Structure 1
Amino acid sequence: MNNVKRVKLNSKMAKQICTHSGSFHADESLAVYMLRLLPEFKDAKLVRSRNPQDWDASDILVDVGAQYDGVKYFDHHQRGFFETFNEKYKTKLSSAGLIFKHYGRDIIKTILNNKPSNSDLDLLYDKVYKQFVEALDANDNGISKYTIPKDSDLEPNFRDNAISIPGIISGMNPNWNEDTSDGAFDKCFARASEFIGGVFVTLVKGYGESWLPAKALVAQAIDGRLNVDKSGKIIVLPQFCPWKEHLYELEREKNIEKKIEFVLFTDSSGAWRVSTVPINSTSFQFRRGLPEPLRGLRDEELSTKSGVPGCIFIHAAGFIGGAKTKEAVYELAKMSLA
């Protein structure tokens, strides 16, 4: 008798997630995976159905139900839906964005074993949405990456649909001339959800365990910049790390925007590099370039003409150079400031 009661109690406690049956897309594939990362939904049953009775029996609905209340219903197809991630963003949310908006911080904490501080968690919450989830929202809602005039007839140079994540997920649906039963779709959906979920977890771990810790190293380098050079325009990283985005953010925080012009660090071989600072994180234009007469030179010729021993190269575009020692790359940066 006790065993029977225990089984009934556990069955009542089990959560149920519902999304629509039939063809699936990247947004609900990720939404379901994200929910299942949470302790609350870890062992939840997944139902794929368009039957309102199944909706009523479920604890949470994603991409189905024609409602959004932030509690049980997380659909975006209904007329009059214009929810965005926050006031900073203009992209209308899909089911992926809706789930991430409400559960994103808890999802990140789960993936990173509750390590981020509150401020770091806020940074990651925005970063993951901006770099990954927003594009899925836009794709599912038919929003272009570019603002294109109505009368323009732009033709792409190539097609990349098949290699985009939404394209890959779409391709995981059963083919029209294969088994297209509900069971076949459900099996393919499970595979698609695992695929996009794995990509998502890898991305979050990368930001949380690599990108975010780099901020502390960049901050350390910025704080010690006057010990490197009195101009304050050169910083030395204690080791290579992703530095560009952090540098711009820290400059803003410390009210020294556009002050730093060169970053020194070691490469994978142990040699030293001197990098210019781009005007933004994706630009090929830099705040100040390495000396124009030395660009494109290498090794002994570069060492002779610069008067700096141990030089390896300066790129022809002038945005980066290399040498055998920290002292040498520092001298190349100093020459550029002169």
Structure 2
Amino acid sequence: MSLPALLQGRLTLPLISAPMFLVSGPDLVIEACKAGIVGTFPALNQRSSEAFEAWLVQIKQALQTFEADTGKQAAPFGVNLIVHKTNPRLQADLEICKRHQVPLIITSLGAVPDVVETVHGYGGLVFHDVATVRHAQKAAEAGVDGLIAVCAGAGGHAGILSPFALVSEIRQFYHGTVILSGCLSTGRDIATAQMLGADLAYMGTRFINTQESKAVADYQQMIVDSSASDITYTPEISGIPANFLKKSLAVAGLDPNTGKAITEEVADSQKSGSKELNLGEELTAPKDGASAWKSIWSAGQGVGSVHDVPSVAALVATLHEEYVSATIEYAQLSREYALKIQGGF
């Protein structure tokens, strides 16, 4: 197991609240870090680099005040950067991160050695999203400090591999920090991630349903009302395979099972199933203004474990209780089996 020095002794749980587009903002990040887990957000959640920098100032000041008032040390925070040629703000946002010495940078859609070098230059960490072993190998070669194994069922842009397969294969060649993403919603899930060989758990969907989230109430209620069978994995919405809530696809006038535009023939066949989705309206042509992430909502297959909208502090407290309970239970079970082996059954 490998945990960077920057994180050692600063976490109440081995957990990162994942950066979620249009959902994660300063309030969520601040409360996560105060509760002792890593809070993160995408730089592109702000429309300009100037506004992004203002968020960084807000977060840093809030955490400094918390530490001064309580004498406690907050967990580090992080920023997600899209490292791809289609992101015109990359260099500007990276320079801002350097200026403010953001502790953790999470890179997506490309592992670029120059970005890693810049972050390492001021003492920061770089964790990189990977969904395949090939991408993990390339990121490792670029010198990242951690690999986020985005497995089947994760919210947003997800992979298709089982965590048992992906984490195991990554561990065969990579000895840095491994973070597991995909369907994690409870403290028991966090403990399970560690048993699989991950150092940290990466939890997104569960934090959509918090009071500090920027998600609208209808989005949060749809998550409460959904289960794993209500998630559709499709490349149709953003061009990259991702998981979306079927009900939001249907409300947008898209085929809830594929995310494709509904032809008259498909609409006829889908209308018969609209009651099962409990949509409350007809499936028609795509509605004006419907767009990925803003009104077509993403979530992971772990939605079936989400039943409420607590504060971040209350959620982390619950996760901690579940985590401790699960680890104690496992320790007891493993001890029983160990004794049986020693006694020859």
If the length of structure 2 is used for normalisation, what is the TM-score?
0.24
Per residue, is there more strand in 1 or in 2? Answer: 2
- Structure label with greater radius of gyration: 1
Larger relative contact order (C-alpha < 8 A, sep ≥ 6)? 2
